[in-house]
Amino acid sequence: MKKSIFLVAITLIFNLTLSSFNLSAQESFKIVRGKSDTVYTPVHYIVGVAPGGSQIFVNDLPSKQYKTGSFGSELRLVPGDNSVRVRVITNGNENIENFVVYYKLLVPVTVPADTVPYTGRVVVTREGAYMNYGAGQDRLGGAKINYLAEGIRMELLDSAQALYKVRLSENSYAFIPKSLVNHEPAGTKPPFSLTSSWSVSNAGNTDIVRVALEKRLPYTFFKELEPNRIVIDIHGAACNTNWITQYLNLKMVDYVDYDQIAPDVFRVYIYLKDEYCWGYKVDYSGTSLVVTVKHTPAPAYKGTLAGLTIGVDAGHGGPKSHGAVSPSGVREKDLNLAMTYMLRAELEKRGAKVVLSRPDDNDVAMSDRIKIFANANVDMMVSVHCNAGGNPLRPMGTSTYYKHIEYRELAKTVLERLTELDVNNFGLIGNFNFSLNSPTYWPNILVETMFMSSLPDEELISDPLFQRMMMNKTVKGLEDYMKKVKSSLKKGAKR
């Protein structure tokens, strides 16, 4: 009891000393902030100091007084004159101060027209746009750089059949399908932007890197293995970043950094903690570039397939897309479908959830297959096909394919198991431009089981028993991969 009385006394002294030190003998209270004549923002703060224990009202609303004697209120101003009334009651004495704050709405400055009008042409990306390195064509299309978000403007340089050559930055260009861009009105200039603040945060199952820009600019990106990082070049951007907020609860992103690699190319580095990449994507939200990096899925820590969601794709399908047809008339689409059923059964036995891109004999567009896997938020994807070409009398064998270097290990691990069967090793194929190998947002591989066109291969792959053996080996490969993932996590990445 004594103690609490003592505390009250101390507090009183504290209040009296602090609340009065800022007031002269003549002053009943003082406004220290907010009596500005003209302001340019609608949120306005009134801050003042009054003797301890006063009752304070700003525009008739109570204002909180702190132990120091300070008080403060937030006002929302309307354009024009705003009357402010501060009323302070101390020991029954009322004191009032009235003043006016003028909120001036800022009208955007109109820039006078350039003396030299811009005469170039500019195109803007549509949904699903992507860029190629060159104007080259291939069975599955030219080599892709990456997909681009909608609404990105680029200078049009040239035309090459179905492609436009567009400028990314002073010294780099790309090719983009004509059908995936719109023309901007004459006089539209290609964009340039300064970079602004960044943030790196944990959004639950992903880490998110956000780079604020003034405009949507074209970007190119890739993953490196050593050092373990994602690299994104923003074309037409110069650094004005003086602030990078980094939260400490990130799970996959270790840290971020940047480099101005050319006067108009700003390079973003995202260093990762875990050795195995589970996917990332680059997109825009407004004019902020947003990189979403997936965490290692929780089931992966067990080192098994249990709990993972796995996309399984049967190549071709429907009345028009039979795929390869063997000399005896076996259709690839039928074998692919039969094998994906086998693959699904084996994966489900191991506790994985399986999502099929085509559960029956239907043709599903490549873009729709990607959407199915994206909507199911798959952890990885395997596409099953049969190959064709080459010498019909020779055993041609089995092969696996990837596009992005971060998924090479997955393709390699599965191939190592497939070639345990007595078949020819046709190879591990990288940078393959198959649509379902193009997403970066989940690990993905293509398994070209055997060649329909080779008589010895045809004999093997037409046999359901052999099909089952191939799918069992595929599952073994996926299991091996999960073991590698687990041991890499055990090695204790920086967490």
Where on the chain is the footprint of Zn ion (CB under 5 A)?
A: 315, 323, 385
Largest CA distance in the chain: 109
For Zn ion, the closer of residues 220 and 453 by Cβ is 453
Nearer to Zn ion, 235 or 331 (CB): 331
Instruction: Give CA–CA dist 156/179, Å, rounded.
Output: 14
Residue that is written with structure tokens 């096909």 in the block: 385
**Looking at beta carbons only, is 193 or 383 nearer to Zn ion?**
383
Q: Which is nearer to Zn ion, 315 or 477 (CB)?
A: 315
Alpha-carbon distance of 139 to 146, in angstroms, equals: 18
Three-state secondary structure call for residue 137 = coil
Of 169 and 336, which CB lies nearer to Zn ion in the complex structure? Answer: 336
Backbone Cα Rg of the chain: 32
- Shortest separation between residue 243's beta carbon and Zn ion, angstroms: 50
Beta bridge partners of 434: none
Q: How far is the CB of 381 from Zn ion (least distance, A)?
A: 16
* Closer CB to Zn ion, 140 or 290, in the complex: 140
Task: Pick the closer one to Zn ion by CB: 216 or 385.
Answer: 385
Instruction: Indicate the residue type of 361.
Output: D
Q: How far is the CB of 377 from Zn ion (least distance, A)?
A: 26
- Minimum CB distance to Zn ion, residue 192 (Å): 44
Q: Which residues pair with 168 in a beta bridge?
A: none
Structure tokens at 134: 């060159």
Least distance CB 223 / Zn ion (angstroms): 27
Shortest gap between Cβ of 456 and Zn ion (angstroms)? 19
Beta strands in 126-228 (DSSP E): 130-132, 144-147, 153-160, 163-169, 172-177, 181-183, 193-202, 206-213, 219-224
Residue where the block lists tokens 């991969």 = 481
Q: Whose Cβ is closer to Zn ion: residue 19's or residue 449's?
A: 449
Q: How far is the CB of 316 from Zn ion (least distance, A)?
A: 6
Encoding tokens for residue 413?
Answer: 């691990």
Nearest to 86 by CA among 75, 68, 98: 98
CB of 339 to Zn ion, least distance (A): 12
Q: Which residue is at the shortest CB distance from Zn ion?
A: 385
CB of 279 or CB of 323, closer to Zn ion: 323
Nearest to 282 by CA among 198, 202, 218, 369: 218
Check the CA dihedral 316-321-327-328 and report its sign. Answer: positive
Give the nearest distance from C-beta 450 to Zn ion in angstroms: 12
Give the integer Cα–Cα distance in Å for 289 and 234: 9
- DSSP labels for 260-308? EEETTEEEEEEEESSSS---EEEEEETTEEEEEEEPPPGGGGGTSSTT-
